[in-house]
């Protein structure tokens, strides 16, 4: 090797070594003292060992901005390729300058062009204040690329899975790209998202708020519904993304990966009769029923804290990923609400984008009545659910566990002719009708009962007659051709698996040509 080669190679190695240190050892040490990982340590935890390939590492080195504050490239998760970037808060706080924004843009564009998932690890205060002395050779136009990422995010929607992790405080334009992706995860007491920070809020409104109070993980996972899950640490969050990825296909033309968890597809689920009380007025945790039904009890819940009256998440049946949508009788009697409608719609549409069959576990007392819900627009939000159900084309199976009253039949796809549910099964304890038997009897026969010499006996007699005539699934099955069967709870798992196997070759129905529908929003 001659001297010129040696000199250039040594210089290249030194530049790359320095760039990998980000903002320097002192700033990295402060990160570690706060219990936080650096941008590249996060990538090491997220990706398969040694799989990360970084692009544009040398951008910004002449301006003293290593990699311009973002590590971007591709790697693998479970052996499958993904495009990924990780913002580096040790370089200008992770703020988005021209080259930084371009690298983000290009990363999503690569993912879309290659047909693979995109993952963004975010920690940025937003757009960088322009510095005339540190402009890139691409000029002022490149400063716009922080916002230009919205375009590939939008074009990629429904074509490739997009996942965002909020690793620190994000504000301004830094929160809009995550909001356009399919999932957002946050770290408890470390992650924040807001359009304007606490200082601006105080200056404008006089309201004093901490970062956690304004836009912390608890706020967005429990109150606003912006985020899909909060984790106790960065490591747990990154492991959560890896777990989520195990359910997802590479793109909309791919099929989700089949993973054998060693659970017998013929296993009976007799425990469900102990989990689900036969009395429709008694509460229970539907997540216990889900764990009983799915492979190895493994359930990856989405938005577990937001709108808890509805449970959504991913699981497997005979190794195949499925999306679970279930009413939660342990909260608001499983009623449908404004928030649950948004949660349900968003999740079902994701499943439909990426070839994930939908399982509906129904036990609802219908839409939650009252002025608050009506004034919040329950009609509009409920219409979103109907739109998503009617638009969906993946296999969909409904099982009415215990009750389906009133509009809950519509919102949970129990009327197949209207909602397009492929198969519908009832348990033998299922109650149907506009409202529950007890409420119906009191409404229609209240005076008769109160005027009777023996009110309790008369009430019980009328209840039995009403249930036999109007709330009896066996009677319903005798004339309703859309009920595939009345099944025993113990057969629930194998009935679902056999139905999914049959529906696995379902073809998408023809559509009227159009640009896109106008979903009620």
Is residue 517 domain-resident?
A: no
d(CA 446, CA 19): 78
Do 206 and 330 lie in one domain? The reply is: no
CA torsion, ordered 315, 316, 320, 322, to nearest 10 deg: -40
Do 353 and 491 lie in one domain? The reply is: yes
Total Cβ atoms within 10 A of residue 336? 29
Domain that holds residue 7: 3-245
Do 183 and 284 lie in one domain? The reply is: no
d(CA 414, CA 397): 9
d(CA 208, CA 313): 36
Total Cβ atoms within 10 A of residue 159? 15
For the question of whether the overall pTM of this predicted structure is more than 0.85, the answer is: yes
Do 228 and 131 lie in one domain? The reply is: yes
Do 234 and 338 lie in one domain? The reply is: no
Per 3-state DSSP, the chain is made up of helix, strand and coil in percentages (nearest 5) of: 45, 20, 40
Do 415 and 462 lie in one domain? The reply is: no
Is residue 508 domain-resident?
A: no
Residue 168 sits in a domain whose CATH number is 3.90.226.10
Burial of 29 (0-12, 13-18, 19+ CB in 10 A): exposed
Query: How do 80-87 and 70-77 pair as beta strands?
Result: antiparallel
Total Cβ atoms within 10 A of residue 441? 21
Q: In total, how many domains does the chain have?
A: 3
End-to-end CA distance of the chain: 66
Is residue 179 domain-resident?
A: yes
d(CA 274, CA 259): 29
Helix (H, G, I), strand (E, B) or coil at 508: coil
Task: For the chain, 521 residues long, give each residue's pLDDT as a single digit of tens.
Answer: 788 999 999 999 999 999 999 999 999 999 899 999 999 999 999 999 999 999 999 999 999 999 999 999 999 999 999 999 999 999 999 999 989 999 999 999 999 999 999 999 999 998 887 665 445 444 444 444 556 889 999 999 999 999 999 999 999 888 999 999 999 999 999 999 999 899 989 999 999 999 999 999 999 999 999 999 999 999 999 999 999 999 999 999 999 999 999 999 999 999 999 999 998 889 999 999 999 999 999 999 999 999 999 999 999 999 999 999 999 999 999 999 999 999 999 999 999 999 999 999 999 989 999 999 999 999 999 999 999 999 999 999 999 999 998 888 899 999 876 778 999 999 999 988 766 667 777 767 777 778 788 878 878 887 777 777 767 888 888 888 889 999 999 999 999 999 999 999 999 888 889 888 999 98
Match 């009677």 to its residue by tokens: 475
Question: Domain ends where: 230, 245, 260?
Answer: 245
Do 392 and 459 lie in one domain? The reply is: no
CA triplet 380, 385, 391: central angle to 5 degrees? 120
């Amino acid at each position: 090797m001659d001297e010129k080669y040696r000199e250039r190679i040594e210089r290249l190695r030194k530049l790359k070594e320095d760039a990998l240190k980000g903002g320097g050892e002192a700033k990295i040490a402060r990160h570690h003292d706060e219990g936080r990982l650096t941008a590249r340590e996060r990538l090491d935890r997220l990706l398969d060992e040694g799989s990360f390939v970084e692009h544009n590492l040398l951008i910004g080195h002449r301006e003293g901005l290593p990699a311009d504050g973002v590590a971007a490239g591709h790697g693998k998760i479970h052996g499958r390729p993904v495009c990924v970037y990780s913002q580096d808060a040790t370089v200008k706080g992770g703020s988005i300058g021209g080259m930084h924004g371009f690298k983000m843009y290009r990363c999503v564009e690569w993912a879309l062009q290659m047909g693979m998932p995109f993952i963004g690890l975010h920690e940025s205060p937003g757009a960088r204040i322009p510095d005339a002395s540190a402009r890139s050779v691409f000029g002022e136009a490149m400063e716009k690329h922080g916002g230009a990422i919205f375009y590939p995010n939008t074009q990629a929607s429904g074509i490739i899975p997009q996942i965002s992790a909020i690793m620190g405080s994000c504000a301004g334009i830094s929160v809009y790209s995550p909001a356009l992706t399919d999932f957002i995860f946050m770290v408890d007491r470390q992650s924040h998202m807001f359009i304007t920070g606490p200082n601006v809020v105080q200056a404008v409104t006089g309201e004093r708020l901490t970062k956690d109070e304004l836009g912390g993980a608890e706020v967005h996972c429990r109150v606003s519904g912006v985020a899909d899950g909060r984790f106790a640490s960065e490591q747990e969050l990154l492991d959560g993304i890896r777990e989520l990825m195990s359910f997802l296909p590479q793109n909309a033309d791919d099929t989700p990966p089949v993973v054998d968890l060693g659970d017998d597809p013929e296993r009976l689920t007799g425990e469900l009769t102990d989990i689900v009380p036969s009395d429709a007025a008694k509460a229970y945790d539907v997540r216990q029923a889900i764990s009983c039904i799915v492979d190895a009890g493994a359930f990856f819940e989405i938005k577990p804290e937001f709108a808890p009256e509805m449970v959504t998440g991913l699981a497997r049946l005979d190794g195949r990923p499925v999306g679970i949508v279930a009413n939660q009788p342990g909260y608001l009697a499983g009623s449908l609400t404004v928030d649950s409608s948004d949660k349900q719609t968003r999740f079902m549409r994701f499943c439909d984008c990426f070839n994930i069959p939908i399982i509906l576990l129904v036990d609802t007392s219908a839409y939650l009545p009252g002025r608050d819900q009506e004034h919040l627009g329950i009609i509009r939000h409920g219409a979103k659910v109907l739109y998503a159900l009617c638009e969906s084309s993946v296999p969909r199976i409904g099982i009415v566990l215990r009750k389906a009253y009133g509009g809950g039949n519509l919102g949970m796809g129990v009327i197949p002719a209207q909602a397009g549910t492929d198969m519908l099964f009832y348990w033998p304890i299922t109650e149907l009708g506009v409202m529950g038997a007890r409420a119906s009897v009191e409404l229609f026969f209240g005076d008769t009962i109160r005027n009777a010499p023996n009110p309790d006996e008369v009430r019980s007699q009328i209840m039995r007659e009403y249930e036999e005539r109007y709330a009896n699934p066996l009677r319903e099955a005798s004339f309703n051709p859309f009920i595939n069967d009345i099944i025993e709870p113990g057969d629930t798992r194998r009935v679902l698996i056999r139905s999914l196997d049959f529906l696995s070759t379902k073809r998408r129905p023809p559509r009227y040509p159009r640009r896109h529908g106008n979903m009620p929003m």
